[in-house]
Amino acid sequence: MVKSTQTRLKETAFSLFAAHGYESTTMSQIANAIGIKKPTLYSYYESKEELFLSIFTEAAEEYRQYMEQILEEAQHMGSTKDQLYHIFQKYIAYFAQNHELSAFWNRILLFPPASLKEKLFTQISNLESSLYEKVAEIIQAGIDRGDLRHSVALDTLFSFYCFREGLLLALLLNPDLEPRKVEAVWENIWYGIGNHRGIVHEK
């Protein structure tokens, strides 16, 4: 099936934004990369900002749908350990297996375009807050059942996120890292947050 010009345009712009960032990518570069004239590009999008925000919104929505599916799957698992590992592993796989997607998000998070920073970070914060709450609920339920060491749920969640992001960065920097490293890191995380003494605290 032949891709439409608009689809090719967005795919090409996505690749250029991921490789060079928003501010170093020009509309002329995008037009030249897909073999159209610059005025034709402007017939689809009035500005680079509009094009970038369109691509960002689609990427954010795909991420939201993916993570909500992962969270739904986790809800049907029998143990807190299985639930959290599923979320941990699937999140890492989503980005580690797509370096261009990772580069796109990393540029937004680390080097956001100044003119769009507030708008982008507001959308990201709103997106992550809803996902954050659902993982926090799993952790709190795990604490209540005695699966997790007694602590403040949000502190455990923060630790979980820090380990997750650290491992993802290691995988992005070293794509040849052995797959078993994911399991090894997870077991160390679980050793820290799991309730290995079986003590259940009254709420």
Instruction: Give pLDDT tens digits for 127-149.
Output: 999 899 999 999 999 999 999 98
Instruction: Clarify whether residues 179 and 83 are in a common domain.
Output: yes
Per-residue pLDDT tens over the stretch 10-34: 999 999 999 999 999 999 999 999 9
**Owning domain of residue 41:** 1-46
Query: What pLDDT sits at residue 77?
Result: 94
Instruction: Clarify whether residues 65 and 123 are in a common domain.
Output: yes
pLDDT band at 94 (very low <50, low <70, confident <90, very high): very high
pLDDT band at 197 (very low <50, low <70, confident <90, very high): low
Please report how many Cα atoms fall inside a 13 Å half-sphere around the Cα of residue 48, on the Cβ side: 20
Instruction: Clarify whether residues 10 and 105 are in a common domain.
Output: no
pLDDT band at 69 (very low <50, low <70, confident <90, very high): very high
Instruction: Clarify whether residues 86 and 171 are in a common domain.
Output: yes
Domain count across the chain? 2
In whole numbers, what is the pLDDT of the chain averaged over residues?
91
What is the helix (H) or strand (E) element at residue 46, kind and residue range?
none
What gap in Å lies between CA 141 and CA 132, rounded to an integer?
14
Instruction: Clarify whether residues 25 and 61 are in a common domain.
Output: no
- pTM exceeding 0.75: yes
Residues with Cβ within 8 Å of residue 177, at least 6 apart in sequence: 170, 171
Instruction: Clarify whether residues 66 and 10 are in a common domain.
Output: no
Let me know if 9 is exposed, middle or buried by CB neighbors in 10 A (0-12, 13-18, 19+): buried
Task: Say whether 154 sits in a helix, a strand or coil.
Answer: helix
Query: What pLDDT sits at residue 1?
Result: 57
